[in-house]
Amino acid sequence: MKIVIVGTGYVGLVSGVCLAELGHRVVCVDTSPEKIAGLRQGRVPIYEPGLEQLMARNALEGRLSFDTDIGAAAEEAEVLVVAVGTPMREHDGQADLRQVMAAVDAIARALTGYAVIVTKSTVPVGTSRLIHERIRAARPDAAFDVASNPEFLREGSALGDFMRPDRVVVGTSAARARAVMDELYEPLRVCNVPIVNTGLESAELIKYASNGFLATKISFVNELAGLCERIGADVRDVSLGMGLDSRIGSGFLKAGPGYGGSCFPKDTRALARMGQENGMAMHVTEAVIRVNGIVKDRMIAKIIRASGGSVAGKTVAVLGVTFKPDTDDMRDAPSLTILPALIGAGAIVRAVDPQGRCQGEALLPGIQWQASAYEAARGADVLVVMTEWNDFVGLDLEQLARVMRQPRMVDMRNLFTPENARTAGFNLYDAIGRTSEWAVLEECPAPFVRASPALPIVVAPPGLGMNGSSRPRPDAAAPGPSI
């Protein structure tokens, strides 16, 4: 089967390479001549483990090629996949469909025989129908159908996710398109991958619903982490105990500095917007978005507290800037909110990331990039673990503590333990959702800082903690430094 993939970003390139690996003939098309020239020479423009090797093999074996000319590529193609970007529109939070519509117009011009136009980009409900109308208007003569086939791969494990997905969702109302899509995914169906056949609207919404739900789990656990810090519980134990319940599941229950990346922030915003536009407010999703902002404020407050109440003139060493490990993608990473806030408050920020510097340099002006964690930590007043890259797990904490001016750590990923940090010579270790494990609290009794407007809370009777215990809450009322 011949397939054209339009857009060679994280989704398009991985999809193209994997569909070639499944035995199809694939042409990947992009408007960027530099990208296509590099891909033809075997250069992968993104960091995705295993992609370069798989791409090279499929290109060598003649199943995969690259082009800027969709007209030539579309000849004899039975499936044309739209996999271009749908970034968030700043003014209203809705998905910006300009790349999609430009790709659709180019496809309309290129159509020859019957083809299925597949939307793999994440698009608001109703877009596939609009695409159908747009192509029909441009090409009344063309034989085509549309299908929605949202993508669920995760950066960092994209190849495995594409080749062995939990499910494939295909939305279409056309029997002929359904048959073509069945053939496209036959190699996965025979491996027992569930194929969920739906209408166009349901397929489009499944993508937003899935990302909205996963983001909900993350915001929920991040909010719990804040509560854990106040009442002496350990969020890792709470997550474990919750996640083992098969009705809940253990995924996406790891507390951290908030969700980021190219999908969750924009897709939650778009889902909320879709609700508003259709008179059905998505209250849960709106709260999830709000909590994600509050969590980042809490992280900023933690760093300020660990720095003794102010970061002005202090050096902050940051390990990791990407939104998660094993990707170079910097889109909407929490670091893009947290680090500029620190710099704005007068901090000198030194950062290291195994893959994030290339994109990060333009997005994070004022950061001093370092080649290693030890260089970043030299002379620093606080060390911040922002991304849980494997490269950081094996760091020599003693050496880090030794080269710092003040050996203090804010571990936003619970990568280390207070015991390890203390033994290594750190005199302050603050993690996420583990208040009871503060080391040397007495050295830095700065108050809890709340940089975002708080939601109303029920206050326990005087002298009682929120769990009814008589443990005092020293941080309850004191105002924190503002930044």
Active-site residue numbers?
263
Which member of 28, 29, 118, 317 binds ligand NAD (CB under 6 A)? Answer: 29
From the CB of 274, what's the least distance to ligand NAD, in Å? 14
User: Which x/- pattern, by CB under 6 A, does the window 261-300 give for ligand NAD?
Assistant: -xx-------------------------------------
Q: What span, in angstroms and rounded, lies between the C-alpha atoms of 303 and 323?
A: 18
From the CB of 435, what's the least distance to ligand NAD, in Å? 34
| Window of 50-58, 95-103, 248-256, 454-462 that interacts with ligand NAD by CB under 6 A | 95-103
When the beta carbons of 208 and 426 are compared against ligand NAD, the nearer one is 208
| Window of 96-104, 140-148, 337-345, 399-407 that interacts with ligand NAD by CB under 6 A | 96-104
Which member of 3, 4, 5, 6 binds ligand NAD (CB under 6 A)? Answer: 6
When the beta carbons of 69 and 396 are compared against ligand NAD, the nearer one is 69
Task: Copy the structure tokens of residue 223.
Answer: 């909010």
**Cβ-count burial of 330 within 10 angstroms (0-12 exposed, 13-18 middle, 19+ buried)?**
buried
Distance of CA 183 to the CA centre of its chain: 31
Three-state secondary structure call for residue 362:
helix
Nearest by Cα to 124 from 26, 9, 245, 211 = 211
| Window of 81-89, 280-288, 339-347, 353-361 that interacts with ligand NAD by CB under 6 A | 81-89
| Window of 26-34, 183-191, 295-303, 350-358 that interacts with ligand NAD by CB under 6 A | 26-34
Q: What span, in angstroms and rounded, lies between the C-alpha atoms of 396 and 425?
A: 11
User: Which x/- pattern, by CB under 6 A, does the window 105-144 give for ligand NAD?
Assistant: -x--------------xx----------------------
Q: Is 7 in the site for ligand NAD (CB under 6 A)?
A: yes
When the beta carbons of 86 and 337 are compared against ligand NAD, the nearer one is 86
Q: Is 155 in the site for ligand NAD (CB under 6 A)?
A: yes
When the beta carbons of 122 and 337 are compared against ligand NAD, the nearer one is 122
> Around Cβ 164, how many Cβ atoms within 10 Å?
11
When the beta carbons of 6 and 146 are compared against ligand NAD, the nearer one is 6
- Tokens 């750190």 belong to 426
Q: Is 8 in the site for ligand NAD (CB under 6 A)?
A: yes
> Around Cβ 230, how many Cβ atoms within 10 Å?
17
Strands 368-369 and 144-148 come out as unpaired
Radius of gyration of the chain (CA): 25
**Cβ-count burial of 6 within 10 angstroms (0-12 exposed, 13-18 middle, 19+ buried)?**
buried
Count of chain residues binding ligand NAD (CB under 6 A): 27
- Residues 6 or more apart in contact with residue 10 via CB below 8 angstroms: 46, 48, 153, 155, 158, 262, 329
Which member of 37, 72, 102, 476 binds ligand NAD (CB under 6 A)? Answer: 102
Which residues are paired to 428 by β-bridges?
A: 408
From the CB of 308, what's the least distance to ligand NAD, in Å? 39
Distance of CA 277 to the CA centre of its chain: 25
Which member of 30, 326, 328, 388 binds ligand NAD (CB under 6 A)? Answer: 30
Task: Copy the structure tokens of residue 286.
Answer: 């709106």
Q: Is 88 in the site for ligand NAD (CB under 6 A)?
A: no
Which member of 3, 4, 5, 11 binds ligand NAD (CB under 6 A)? Answer: 11
- Report the half-sphere exposure of 459 (CA within 13 A, side-chain side): 8
> Around Cβ 345, how many Cβ atoms within 10 Å?
19
Which member of 1, 2, 31, 369 binds ligand NAD (CB under 6 A)? Answer: 31
Which member of 3, 12, 181, 409 binds ligand NAD (CB under 6 A)? Answer: 12
When the beta carbons of 4 and 294 are compared against ligand NAD, the nearer one is 4
- Tokens 């909590």 belong to 291
Q: What span, in angstroms and rounded, lies between the C-alpha atoms of 321 and 43?
A: 24
Q: Is 32 in the site for ligand NAD (CB under 6 A)?
A: yes
**Cβ-count burial of 146 within 10 angstroms (0-12 exposed, 13-18 middle, 19+ buried)?**
buried
The per-residue DSSP string of 24-63 comes to: -EEEEE-S-HHHHHHHHTT--SS--TTHHHHHHHHHHTTS
From the CB of 84, what's the least distance to ligand NAD, in Å? 4
What angle, rounded to 10 degrees, do the helices at 98-110 and 127-138 form?
A: 40
The answer to whether the CB of 4 falls within 8 A of the CB of 81 is yes
Q: Is 388 in the site for ligand NAD (CB under 6 A)?
A: no
Q: Is 16 in the site for ligand NAD (CB under 6 A)?
A: no
From the CB of 410, what's the least distance to ligand NAD, in Å? 27
The contact set with ligand NAD (CB under 6 A) reads 6-12, 29-32, 35, 83-86, 99, 102-103, 106, 121-122, 151, 153, 155, 262-263
